[in-house]
Structure 1
Amino acid sequence: MKCISLFMVVLISVPICFTSNILYLQLLVSHSHHFWNRAIIHELAERGHNVTILSPRSEAKPPTGVHYILLEDQYVRRLPFYRSLLNATEFMNPFYETLSILLGYELLCSGAVKTKGFQTLLNYPDEFKFDVILHDFSVGSCFLPFVHKFNYPPMIAVTAFGHPSFSSHYIADHHHYSYVPHISLRSNDEMTFSQRLLNFLIYMEEFIIFKYFFNPRMDEIAAKFFGPNFPSVSELEKRTSLAFVNTNAAIDYHISHPENVIPVGGLQIKDPKPFPQELTSFINSSTKGTVIFSLGSNFRSDYIPQIKKNLILKVLSDLSDYNFLWKFESNISESDLPKNVMIRSWIPVSDVLAHPKVKAIFFHGGLLTTHEAIWRSVPMIIMPFGLDQPQNLMKTKRFGISEGADYHSLNYDDLKTTILKVLEDPSYAMNMQKVSARFKDQKEKPLDRAIWWIEWLLRNPNCGYLKSPLFGLGLIAGNSYDIIAFITLFVILNLIILLKLFCYCVRKCLRNIYSDETMPHEKLE
């Protein structure tokens, strides 16, 4: 009897884990976005779930329960795009940039569906059971037909790309054009009338492209590979149960979220780990501190034109009180390298940011590094190239925690002044401490929040009651444009009627006046 009681106590004390089959669909060709998604994947595997990932990137030694289906050779196709941004002489026109981004999404999809990896998942039997699908919607809806193929398991839309302007297709939220700038617009949430007008037109351009060109193109691709009897991707988008967006109210613009949108900004950030001793020694050898210089995982520093590389090296050399740790993907001759500059092909940026002698980070403005710098309380010098990077500069500059360097008009004096301003003006470090404290003050870690909601959806697959009613209303009715148009038309019609009545009365009065003056008076008898 004692043995049975002891067995029951042990059984009750052991947490019960219900293993689920999870499909993770990831199209975007981006190392950093893969790291963000991988944080979710590894945590799910750690909790006993089986995760199958269709992705352009895999791992050499994935953990138990993680199974990659590789979309082969996709990174090679994307490198020319990133290189072109480094060779550009100015930012794109915002309308052309919006169009080119969406054309890039279509090219990614067209390339991915031709891979062996895509065909592998396509050949899975239709009755294969996935309990939930996580779909990275950062580059659109290319893989959504798999939701239909596998008989509509509940779906979570996820993105490391902040809160994309087209997220309303999945979650029917309101993007307020008056104070939420499109990523193609170079302004913050305090816009002038002309900026708000431009912002509205960019959003409408994107809406039209998605509705009449991009999504119909996705339907064409789906019909070719999945057959003709599939619902449109526009309908599949609406089947999203939950959405994870990489935002945090402490640092992002204010956006009205429906109940099924979960902000998980910074979920990839973990406690810092030890890094190579040679990096530690270099950082500690600095007189006033060390600056990290990194262009992230997609932009290569060795693609920067030589004249700009020489300019940057000259500035770093002349700031001799500081050491600079530069992520540089190829070698620079020791004779050409200043003594206060160390180059390495890979730097564990998030871990190095936690070192107390790191005083700033000079980088491209990628969102994940921005979150990591804020979490570690390190001021920023941001040199954006495109995509969401200019907006990340705009957001952080509002709080006095960053300054920008214009890559296209880069010159010695401006770059040196900007770096010194962030390093030697104490307000940047003080402001960063405040913003960092707000960012970290959460009831649970963002990754734990994401995992909890995934497992909640496994327990509660029918959660349509959380969805926004905007899906049923559409863009026009959902934003009350029809009401505004009706009231405007009603007022205009009434004004026209009143004006016509006024004109009629005036003419009537004038006729009476003129007729009285011209009518002969009757003789008095």
Structure 2
Amino acid sequence: MRFHLSLVTLLLCWVSATRPANVLMLLNAPSRSHHIWNSALVTALAERGHNVTVLVTLPVKNPGPNITSLVLEGMYEFVEEQEEFDLENMTDTPPSEMLDIFFEWVFKTCEFTFKNKGMKTLLNYPDNFKFDLLIYEASCGECLLGLAKRFGSPPAIGVSGFSHPHWIDYMFGNPNNPAYISNIMLPYSDHMTFSERMHNFLFNLWVDHLWNSKVLPNIDATSRKYLGPSSAVPSQEIIKVSAVMVNTHPSFDNPRPLVPSVVNVAGIHVKEPKPLPKDLQEYLDNAKEGVVFFSLGSNLQSKKLKEEKRQAILSAFAELPEKVLWKWEADILPGQPKNVKVGKWLPQTDILAHPNVRLFITHSGLLSTQESIHRGVPMLGIPFFADQQINIEKSMRHGVGLRLDYNDITKESLLKTIRSVIDDPSYAKNMRELSSKFRDRPETPLETAVFWCEYVMRHKGAPHLRSAAKDLYLFQYLLLDVIAFASAATLVPVLLLCYCCKKIFSKKLVQNKIKKN
């Protein structure tokens, strides 16, 4: 009887856990690489039987019958028209200025999202339509959280393909000690010097100031403007977000404490390698000296590089004994050497899985870095903007790659750096070890992400995951009031004792004077 009762209980739990749900995903970041990262979760939730409605910058590839894509058409063209987003010229931009550019990018993205036809289609859904879960893009989707009230106030989860931004700690009450946790905009390790710790501390204060004085008021105003004054206020809705899934892992990123509502899911987009197209497979198979794979990602196109830099790169590649595979977005590469093969689009993660690939020359975007780590390929990083500087610095600290600044590229410097990585076996050895640590997990990161989405739905927003730190003022969180009270409690008796002693000694001195006189 007990066995049958347990079996019935398990079946009921299974049915409850796998009940199809309506999921709304608001993925408005104009980044093709982040689209790939997010699409992995979209597809996985749909394969679990959930009905997924996704507001997205590009159509989901091979969508199943239970995926509805509402595309924000023209998003990438809009971003490219903005002069301040000239990625090639951001290589020397200081972190504080980069942060301002990033937030400006967020504001303009939000405005464009609300004005877009895709958003208007979503807002035309019936008034009684309810979603069971809302998933938004942390860092640029907070302005859309006002939609929660429009669709039945479902629990919300953030997803951050952009590593682990500082403001996520602020939002979720996650510990962030600037003594050993570096801001992702700064190239510091977890062992900082005094000046680095000071810079990190002050920079975090500046980020908090901008978040409270600029970002929250802006997204609040944007939400009210397009959803009406009766919509939920984003700055208040942020406090109610159940969890956030961040694109980090302690094997590569510096270890740090996490509250239960902040979950590591680095590499959810990396899958088992698929068969390559016939021409690519033959090219890689026949590369007896090995292959150098060169790609600057999806946001910065190689065809837009300055002429002098392109010529330097071509001259260096022509002298390599290895073959070169270059993601080049135009029909013709002027001056293309015989050992170079180009492609407008290349299946990056599948190429990196080929055993003949010896070096990955990359812009050091986080997703490309993770793919390289997962496949075990050493890197040469040419960073341009955002977290790319930090990603290659981490790679260098792990001994799995070298850095070459874009402004320093010449034929000689590129050749020297390429040979330094390929000819030194320690880079390949270190990368194999790092790859093993990165992949060694109890379940795949995508399984982890799906589990937490369903967990939050099963437990009605999982409020028990919420850290009480979110309810504290800064002076309470830092125990400044307790320290002040303890200091006063200690100091006041000492001062009273000193005062009493002074009075006693003064009285005695007066009495002694009187006796002498």
TM-score of the superposed pair, with normalisation by structure 1:
0.89
Kindly state the Cα deviation for residue 157 of structure 1 after the two structures are TM-superposed.
Answer: 1.1
**1:475 aligned onto 2:474:** yes
Is residue 224–residue 233 contact of structure 2 (8 Å, CA) maintained in 1?
no
Per the alignment, residue 7 of structure 1 pairs with none
State the one-letter code of the partner of 1:121.
L
How far apart, in 2, do the equivalents of 1:362 and 1:506 lie? 79
Distance 1:60 1:32, change over 3 A: closer
State the one-letter code of the partner of 2:301.
R
What pairs with 1:159-198 in structure 2 (closer than 5 Å)? 159-198=160-199
Is residue 79–residue 85 contact of structure 2 (8 Å, CA) maintained in 1?
no
List per-residue Cα deviations over 1:119-168 (Å, max 9, x = no partner): 22122233211111111113241110011211211111111111111112
State the one-letter code of the partner of 1:196.
R
What pairs with 1:235-274 in structure 2 (closer than 5 Å)? 235-274=236-275
Q: Secondary structure of the residue that 2:380 maps to in structure 1?
A: strand
| Stretches of structure 2 lacking an aligned partner (at least 5 in a row) | 1-10
Kindly state the Cα deviation for residue 350 of structure 1 after the two structures are TM-superposed.
Answer: 0.2
Kindly state the Cα deviation for residue 414 of structure 1 after the two structures are TM-superposed.
Answer: 2.8
Is residue 169–residue 237 contact of structure 1 (8 Å, CA) maintained in 2?
no
Q: Secondary structure of the residue that 1:343 maps to in structure 2?
A: strand
How far apart, in 1, do the equivalents of 2:494 and 2:382 lie? 53
**1:406 aligned onto 2:408:** no
What pairs with 1:24-103 in structure 2 (closer than 5 Å)? 24-59=25-60, 61-80=62-81, 84-88=86-90, 90-103=91-104
State the one-letter code of the partner of 1:215.
L
Is residue 85–residue 101 contact of structure 2 (8 Å, CA) maintained in 1?
no
State the one-letter code of the partner of 1:85.
L
Is residue 176–residue 255 contact of structure 1 (8 Å, CA) maintained in 2?
no
Kindly state the Cα deviation for residue 333 of structure 1 after the two structures are TM-superposed.
Answer: 4.4
State the one-letter code of the partner of 1:86.
E
Is residue 32–residue 368 contact of structure 1 (8 Å, CA) maintained in 2?
yes
How far apart, in 1, do the equivalents of 2:155 and 2:76 lie? 30
Distance 1:433 1:505, change over 3 A: farther
Q: Secondary structure of the residue that 2:329 maps to in structure 1?
A: coil
State the one-letter code of the partner of 2:260.
E
Q: Percent identity?
A: 33
Which has the larger Rg? Answer: 1
Distance 1:68 1:114, change over 3 A: same
State the one-letter code of the partner of 1:149.
R
Q: Secondary structure of the residue that 1:39 maps to in structure 2?
A: helix
Is residue 126–residue 151 contact of structure 1 (8 Å, CA) maintained in 2?
no
**1:450 aligned onto 2:452:** no
| Stretches of structure 1 lacking an aligned partner (at least 5 in a row) | 1-11
How far apart, in 2, do the equivalents of 1:202 and 1:138 lie? 18
**1:281 aligned onto 2:282:** yes
Per the alignment, residue 344 of structure 1 pairs with 343
Matched residue count: 502
How far apart, in 2, do the equivalents of 1:148 and 1:170 lie? 19
Is residue 170–residue 238 contact of structure 1 (8 Å, CA) maintained in 2?
yes
Kindly state the Cα deviation for residue 484 of structure 1 after the two structures are TM-superposed.
Answer: 4.5
Distance 1:505 1:467, change over 3 A: same
List per-residue Cα deviations over 1:496-518 (Å, max 9, x = no partner): 8899899x699969988xx97xx
CA-based RMSD of the aligned residues comes to 2.7
My pick for the range that moved more, 232-241 or 26-35, is 232-241
How far apart, in 2, do the equivalents of 1:171 and 1:66 lie? 30
My pick for the range that moved more, 90-99 or 426-435, is 90-99
**1:441 aligned onto 2:443:** no
What pairs with 1:120-139 in structure 2 (closer than 5 Å)? 120-139=121-140
Distance 1:343 1:465, change over 3 A: same
How far apart, in 2, do the equivalents of 1:494 and 1:429 lie? 64
**1:325 aligned onto 2:307:** no
What pairs with 1:103-118 in structure 2 (closer than 5 Å)? 103-118=104-119
Per the alignment, residue 5 of structure 1 pairs with none
TM-score of the superposed pair, with normalisation by structure 2:
0.90
How far apart, in 2, do the equivalents of 1:253 and 1:480 lie? 26
How far apart, in 1, do the equivalents of 2:242 and 2:223 lie? 22
How far apart, in 1, do the equivalents of 2:319 and 2:61 lie? 42
Distance 1:45 1:424, change over 3 A: same
Kindly state the Cα deviation for residue 395 of structure 1 after the two structures are TM-superposed.
Answer: 1.9
Is residue 178–residue 201 contact of structure 2 (8 Å, CA) maintained in 1?
yes
My pick for the range that moved more, 376-385 or 400-409, is 400-409
State the one-letter code of the partner of 2:101.
S
Is residue 59–residue 71 contact of structure 2 (8 Å, CA) maintained in 1?
yes
Is residue 242–residue 261 contact of structure 2 (8 Å, CA) maintained in 1?
yes
Kindly state the Cα deviation for residue 459 of structure 1 after the two structures are TM-superposed.
Answer: 2.0
List per-residue Cα deviations over 1:426-462 (Å, max 9, x = no partner): 1111111111111111111111111122222232214
Is residue 363–residue 383 contact of structure 2 (8 Å, CA) maintained in 1?
yes
Kindly state the Cα deviation for residue 188 of structure 1 after the two structures are TM-superposed.
Answer: 2.0
My pick for the range that moved more, 225-234 or 197-206, is 225-234
My pick for the range that moved more, 344-353 or 113-122, is 113-122
Q: Secondary structure of the residue that 1:296 maps to in structure 2?
A: coil
Distance 1:521 1:63, change over 3 A: closer
Q: Secondary structure of the residue that 1:18 maps to in structure 2?
A: coil
State the one-letter code of the partner of 1:183.
I
Distance 1:485 1:300, change over 3 A: farther
Distance 1:232 1:372, change over 3 A: same
Distance 1:497 1:224, change over 3 A: same
Is residue 148–residue 232 contact of structure 2 (8 Å, CA) maintained in 1?
no
